[in-house]
Amino acid sequence: MLELDALTVRYPDFTGCYALTVPRGALCAVIGPSGGGKTTMLHAIAGFEPVSGGALRFAGQNLLPLPPAGRPCSLLFQDHNLFPHLTAAQNVGLGLKPGLSLTAAERTAVEDALAAVDLADEATRLPGELSGGQRQRVALARALVMRRPLLLLDEPFGALDPGLRKAMISLTDRLRREHGLTVVMTIHTPADIAEAADLVVFVADGAVQHVAPPAALLRPGHSPALDAFMGV
Amino acid sequence: MPGAAALPHPGLIAAGFLAALIMAALAGLSSAGGTATLMPSPYLWGVVRGAAWQAALSTALSLLLGTALALALTRRASFPGRRLLMAVITAATVAPTIVIIFGLIAMFGRSAPLPALAASLGLTVPAIYGLHGIVLAHVVMNAPLVARVLMAAFAATPAEQARLGQMLRFSPLDCLRHLDGPVIRREWPGLAAFIFLLCFTSFAVVLSLGGGPANATLEVAIYQALKLDVDFARAASIALLQILLSLAFVLAFSAIGARLPDAPGQTRGQPRPDAGSRPLFWLDGAVITGAMLLIAPVVLSVLSGLGQLLSLLGADVARAALTSALLAAIAAGLAVLLALLLASAAEAAPLGRASPGRARLIDLAVLALLGLPPFALVTGLFVLLRGTGSLSGIGLVLVPLINALMALPFVYRLLAPPLRQSAERHGRLSASLGLSGLAHLRIVAWPVLRRPLMAALALGAALSMGDFGVIALFGGGDLITLPYLMAERMGAYRLAEAGAIALVLVATATALTFLADRA
């Protein structure tokens, strides 16, 4: 279980204070207006934002004292997830050993992860030679080899075509079930997530405003702010 | 631009003007009498070999020290005195050559504090004059440039990559390999070409610190042919040799993919996965301390001029300052105009679709301008113009003209990238809105170019103000600039007064740079 209890991030012009509980193995979609604090929340969970108060626990463990590398989570950004001078396989290999001197078993793990995201044939390509969707799948493969139970995705498929976006979400959903991951992802188009998500979270003004299953939350009339965001 | 197709682009006119100017100068020079030789003498080949070795050494050491400094300062985002260090580094990148020379002589010269201290301890320190003195001066001038360019490039890498490094538990070695290495590999070739050409054609440093004919450059040989041998045709043939060698060098470098290094931009903080490493902490401390021991005294030695500032109130200094300011203003304006025209010629394809080939060609031609021999040019043009006016009258035209040419590669670096970006981002939009001519300039170009233009003007003025090249040949009589006056005072061993002038020069150049950064 992922628990955010008044987790507070403070900047001169922005304050985020988040309260949220995500059951283990759930897929939680975060929606909300730009600038409302979605990314800040993910970065605070991953350890990239200075937290000034509150609590953050995963499976009962307090995450706040841990550095980003010590936390049980991996984070996918919208862009720049890969190092442009390394091949797809090397980028995945970084998740195992940053020095890239991999054992035979580790190389097999990299191949398996690339196969799991349907990129077995692109292992030796550089990121510049891959499409946007393929690059994000390489990043997903790296998250898989890192074997961290909490997967955070920050609008990872926002720049992709609608069909590809749906395919990537069902891929993420499949990987979550196969590997028992807890997934929190921010998303731009709520309709994409309606089928896969267990929970939808509406974040605005630096706080979690509503949490509910998609059928309940994505229905018009839930709240004026949500209706305004959804355009109904 | 429909309808305007019949006229050549102004940038091409500017390029033609430059080419005609260079050819006219060389023709004028070789027509003035003397012994032209197409085949360089063994002596000249010796000069070329020596200068190439000196330049290679200067370049390698500048790159190493500058890169170590950039890495250390990038990893240490805040410590007491960091702003002061950055100010010293900025000052060193714009300090006039004559001031660096003055600083080195003030620190390491015969009666300077360091050798005196060593002597009192029973040690003998080799004199500053010689190859090591030249290389030291070049490193003090260029390592800070390397540091600034690389720090800006490090800061421009996506923050996501640094965060990835944190998440993936990168060791310091991994950081060097995956975060910094690619940036260094991308920036080094261009920086190396830039610094090598500067050092290969170096003049004032080699003449002042070379310590004799064993160390020379072609630039010094041209100066000697003109001033000592009064053999104009010989100067012209050496000038041609230098131009051809510089062109060949630039072409060779372009073949391996080097590009003109971008001017350093703003640097901002980045999360560093390796900031917590203990050994790196000590290494960075050592690098920063070492670099500062090398750079700071040379820059700060001008502070010795503080006590003599009042002596500057004399009429000759005020006049020289006024002359310098006037010449610098003309040169800066001309350099910026030429740079703008050339940079826009690279973008002059229809619908804002930049033609990479033409842009690259113009970039390379501008880089090759670093190899232009100012003495040969100015003398050749003087030969053509003599009889049309008084010596100082002609000088008032030629000095800013040549200074503008010398400043052009530096100024171009500031203007070309933003112009290119603006064309890429807004070219189609402007075309679809029918924005062209003055409206385009006011609404689209000016907001993007305002800052770089101010920075370019300031840099052009700072470079011209501190120039001690052409003026060494041309100055005197009515035409006396601050660097010329400073060299005179140094020659007369009135070092404190020279220091006071150096202080004014460095303060002006640094103030101009900081103003430009905040424009």
Domain-by-domain residue ranges, chain B?
Answer: 17-517
Q: What is the pLDDT of residue B2?
A: 45
Which of B167, B179, B270 is best to mutate for the A interface (most A CBs within 10 A)? B167
From A95, which residue of chain B is nearest by alpha-carbon distance?
Answer: B168
For position B438, what pLDDT does the model report? 66
The answer to whether the beta carbons of residues B482 and B67 sit under 8 Å apart is no
* Residue B54: per-residue pLDDT: 95
Cα distance from A100 to chain B (closest Cα, Å)? 9
ipTM exceeding the 0.85 mark: no
Best mutation target among B164, B183, B185, B187 (most A Cβ atoms within 10 Å) is B164
Beta-bridge mates of residue B7: none
**Cα angle B479, B400, B464; round to 5:** 95
What is the residue whose two structure tokens read 């759930």?
A26
Whether the Cβ atoms of residue A145 and residue A66 lie closer than 8 Å to each other = no
Q: In what order do the strands lie in the sheet with A182-186?
A: A73-76, A150-154, A182-186, A27-31, A199-204, A207-212
**Contact flag B161-A95 (C-beta cutoff 8 Å):** no
User: Do the beta carbons of residue B509 and residue B98 sit within 8 Å?
Assistant: no
Whether residues B168 and A94 touch (CB distance < 8 A) is answered with: yes
Q: What was the pLDDT predicted at A73?
A: 92
Compute the nearest-CA separation of A101 from chain B (Å): 12
pLDDT at residue A108 in the model: 93
Question: Coil, helix or strand for B479?
Answer: strand
Contact B334, B400 (CB under 8 A): yes
- Is B178 within 8 Å of A83 when comparing Cβ atoms? yes
Q: SS3 letters for B27-42?
A: HHHHHCCCCCCCCCCH
One-letter amino acid of A96: L
Reported as half-sphere exposure (CB side, CA atoms, 13 A), residue B298 has a value of 31
Element (H, E) at B419: helix B391-433
CA B1 to CA B124: how far, in whole Å? 69
CA B352 to each of CA B323, B343, B453, B461: distance values in angstroms, whole numbers, following the listed order: 42, 13, 21, 31
Tokens 């009962």 locate to: A60
DSSP per residue, chain A: -EEEEEEEEEETTEEEEEEEEE-TT-EEEEE--TTSSHHHHHHHHHT-S---EEEEEETTEE-TTS-GGGSSEEEE-SS--S-TTS-HHHHHHTTT-TT----HHHHHHHHHHHHHTT-GGGTT--GGGS-HHHHHHHHHHHHHHHT-SEEEEESTTTTS-HHHHHHHHHHHHHHHHHHT-EEEEE-S-HHHHTTT-SEEEEEETTEEEEEE-HHHHTSTTS-HHHHHHHT-
Q: Are the Cβ atoms of A80 and B174 closer than 8 angstroms? A: no
Percent of chain A with pLDDT over 90: 60
Question: Looking at the DSSP assignment, which residues form a beta bridge with residue A201?
Answer: A30, A211
What's the pLDDT score for residue B267? 52
Task: Identify the CATH number of the domain defined by range A2-72+148-230.
Answer: 3.40.50.300
A224-229, Cβ contacts within 8 angstroms, sequence gap of 24 or more: A226/A202, A229/A31, A229/A32, A229/A33, A229/A202, A229/A204
Q: Identify the CA nearest to B420 among candidates B443, B395, B448, B442.
A: B448
End-to-end CA distance of chain B: 32
Structure tokens at B185: 């590999």
Whether B168 sits inside 8 A of A79 (CB atoms) is no
B367 with B249: CB under 8 angstroms? Answer: no
Residue B262 touches chain A, beta carbons under 8 Å: no
Nearest CA-CA distance, residue B125 and chain A, Å: 45
Rounded Cα distance between A83 and A146, Å, is: 17
- Nearest C-alpha neighbor of B373 from the set B480, B233, B186, B219: B219
| Inter-chain residue contact A98 with B271, CB threshold 8 Å | no
pLDDT mean by block of 10 residues, chain B; 519 residues: 56 85 85 71 88 96 95 86 83 85 81 72 75 92 91 84 88 89 89 91 88 84 84 85 87 71 58 79 88 80 74 76 90 92 69 61 82 84 80 82 90 82 71 68 76 86 84 77 87 82 86 74
CB distance A90 to A71 below 8 Å: no
Q: Is B356 within 8 Å of chain A by CB? A: no
The torsion of the CA quartet A54, A59, A65, A69, rounded to 10 degrees, works out to -130
B174–A99 C-beta distance less than 8 A: yes
Q: How many CB pairs under 8 A join A and B?
A: 50
Whether B163 sits inside 8 A of A48 (CB atoms) is yes
Q: What are the Cα distances from residue B464, in Å, to B96, B244, B440?
A: 9, 25, 31
- The whole-angstrom separation of Cα B28 and Cα B382 is 8
Quick one: closest CA in B to A101, which residue?
Answer: B174
Q: What's residue B519's pLDDT?
A: 57
Decide: B277 and B166 in contact? Cβ < 8 Å.
Answer: no
Cα A50 to Cα A15, A55, A139, B166, B268: the distances in Å are 12, 13, 25, 14, 18
How far apart, in whole angstroms, are the C-alpha atoms of residue A181 and residue A150? 6
Segments in chain A below pLDDT 70:
none
Cβ–Cβ gap A68/B161 under 8 Å:
no
B17-517 CATH, one of 3.30.210.10, 1.20.120.1200, 1.20.1600.10, 1.10.3720.10: 1.10.3720.10
Other Cβ atoms within 10 Å of B51 Cβ, number: 25
* The pair of three-digit structure tokens given for residue B40, joined into one six-digit string: 């360089």
Nearest to A68 among B167, B174, B178 (CB): B167
What tokens does B152 get? 């800006």
CB distance A69–B271 less than 8 Å?
no
Collect all residues of chain A within an 8 Å Cβ-Cβ radius of residue B161.
Answer: 80, 83
Distance between CA B105 and CA B486 in Å, rounded?
Answer: 14
